[in-house]
Amino acid sequence: MNQFMPVIGLEVHIELATKSKMFCACSADYFGAKPNTHVCPICLGLPGAMPKANKLAIEFAQRFALALNCQVQLGSKFDRKNYFYPDLAKGFQISQYDLPFSQKGFLEILSGEKVKKINITRAHLEEDTGKLNHATISGRRVTLIDFNRSGVPLMEVVSEPEMNNAQEAKAYAQKLQQIVRYLKISDADMEKGSMRIEPNVSLRKVFFGSKDPKVTKVLPPYKVELKNINSFKFAEKAINFEIERQRKILESGETPVQETRGWDEKNNRTVSQRSKELAHDYRYFPEPDLTPFTFTQDYINQLARQLPELPDAKIARFQKEFQLSAYDVEILTRSVDIANYFEEAVKAGKRHQLTPKQIANTLINQKIDIDEVFPAKLVQNIITQTQKTQLDPKELEKIVKKVLLQNLKAVNDYKKGKEVALGFLVGQVQRELKEEGGPRQVKEMILRKLKP
């Protein structure tokens, strides 16, 4: 029986959070607005309308590229991508072809228990299209076009085809979303359409006898693109369905058609939409109404220095500085707002001898609404809760002995002068107590037991 390995690459479209559109002054805040109210001659592609590039959108794209270890180009330009579709008023899209703003980057994901590097081919800027709304009016099926979205800055991030299952593709897309949110260049809200996933899926045969068939560079002679998927759940389902569909075709001795398919949510299947175009079908040529761009290395270096702490760095620091588990850190760093809130609460809790672990447990287990409860208030709530409970000293002593025996490394670290180890031990006791003891009482008992 033949065996096949999935080959998956992702094209991810991310709308950038600028106030105005990519090539005009119209508001880019189109979500929920009355149709065709955020438009102008440029959005509508009227003759004689001249575009002007959005400087902030370009800066956002460059910051993103630096965060993904990309080569930021010192010279770049826009190109015309020619095709006809009702939501594209001009009959062409201003995009980028051979000189994108950045290329050749990477990010790392967890695949099972291992870290896997996914290479980024390029990240380029373009304008978003209008939106088609299908409706029935007076018994007739009609398609209405809303151009409010037309011209919104859109960044397309193209990966190498290096993912081998739907779980890796999902992890990659989630990591991209997390990074753009840390950078605050997009809300990347998939429900609103500000982040859209387009997986390219194909299968290649695994040749027995190869030491590591995954390293073969021979790609399949086709690929199927899945368009405009707006949730991680649907992306995972669509990829898994497509893998099985293609597997059956290949096992029958046929080759799947190279095409674009959509995800049918109702029937949980992919459906054919159209044949997939190649680059030459779009007849790219340099955009004549926009001059090329040049940037200095000093400018790029300045952008790099302004980058915030990114997810991987924050995860490593939280584990080292706060002695938290990988599980706790993963939850606390999913959102930069939650991570910042946690750090503020830790600072406020120090004055009351609250441990980072105790604050983390409360944040995670009680699902605190950080928009409603200030960090100082959270600390006060924890203190109030712990003061209500009187611990049996004998029971506390029993638990402390157990924790010290289970965490000999932390005990030795504390004896060597590492104060952070004491906080870790207090947190472990608190965990055993299910937050029913005050940290001061716990700390005093631990110190008593650690005395020579």
CA dihedral 11, 3, 234, 9 (to 10 degrees): -10
pLDDT at 1: 44
For 361-403, write each residue's pLDDT tens digit: 888 888 888 888 888 888 888 887 776 665 677 888 889 999 9
As to burial, measured by CB atoms within 10 angstroms (0-12 exposed, 13-18 middle, 19+ buried), residue 393 is exposed
For 71-88, write each residue's pLDDT tens digit: 999 999 999 999 888 899
In the predicted model, is pLDDT for residue 288 greater than 50?
A: yes
Q: What are the backbone dihedrals phi and psi of residue 30, each rounded to the nearest 5 degrees, phi first?
A: -90, -15
Mean pLDDT of 285-306: 95
pLDDT at 261: 92
In the predicted model, is pLDDT for residue 122 greater than 80?
A: yes
The structure's pTM equals 0.81
Mean pLDDT of 258-273: 89
Cβ proximity of 437 and 399 under 8 Å = no
> In the structure, what pLDDT confidence band is assigned to residue 214 with cuts at 50, 70 and 90?
very low
Higher-pLDDT residue of 29 and 438 is 29
As to burial, measured by CB atoms within 10 angstroms (0-12 exposed, 13-18 middle, 19+ buried), residue 291 is exposed
Return d(Cα 103, Cα 101) in angstroms, integer.
7
In the predicted model, is pLDDT for residue 294 greater than 90?
A: yes
> In the structure, what pLDDT confidence band is assigned to residue 274 with cuts at 50, 70 and 90?
confident
State the DSSP string of 356-368. Answer: HHHHHHHHHHTT-
As to burial, measured by CB atoms within 10 angstroms (0-12 exposed, 13-18 middle, 19+ buried), residue 258 is middle
In the predicted model, is pLDDT for residue 330 greater than 90?
A: yes
> In the structure, what pLDDT confidence band is assigned to residue 413 with cuts at 50, 70 and 90?
confident
Under DSSP, the state recorded for 86 is T
In the predicted model, is pLDDT for residue 436 greater than 70?
A: no
Mean pLDDT of 443-452: 84
Mean pLDDT of 32-51: 93
For 161-173, write each residue's pLDDT tens digit: 999 999 999 999 9
Mean pLDDT estimate for the chain? 89
Mean pLDDT of 31-38: 93
In the predicted model, is pLDDT for residue 279 greater than 70?
A: no
Return d(Cα 404, Cα 425) in angstroms, integer.
7
Domain ranges of the chain: 4-304, 311-450
Under DSSP, the state recorded for 45 is T
What stretches of 30-112 adopt beta strand conformation (E)? Answer: 71-72, 75-76, 79-82, 92-95, 102-111
pLDDT at 215: 42
Least confident residue range of 116-130, 147-161, 298-312, 338-352? 338-352
pLDDT at 265: 86
In the predicted model, is pLDDT for residue 276 greater than 90?
A: no
For 196-207, write each residue's pLDDT tens digit: 999 999 998 876
State the DSSP string of 391-439. Answer: PPHHHHHHHHHHHHHHTHHHHHHHHTT-THHHHHHHHHHHHHHTT-S-H
Q: Centre a 10 Å sphere on the Cβ of residue 79 and count the other Cβ atoms it contains.
A: 22
pLDDT at 217: 54
In the predicted model, is pLDDT for residue 32 greater than 80?
A: yes
pLDDT at 167: 96
Q: Centre a 10 Å sphere on the Cβ of residue 46 and count the other Cβ atoms it contains.
A: 11
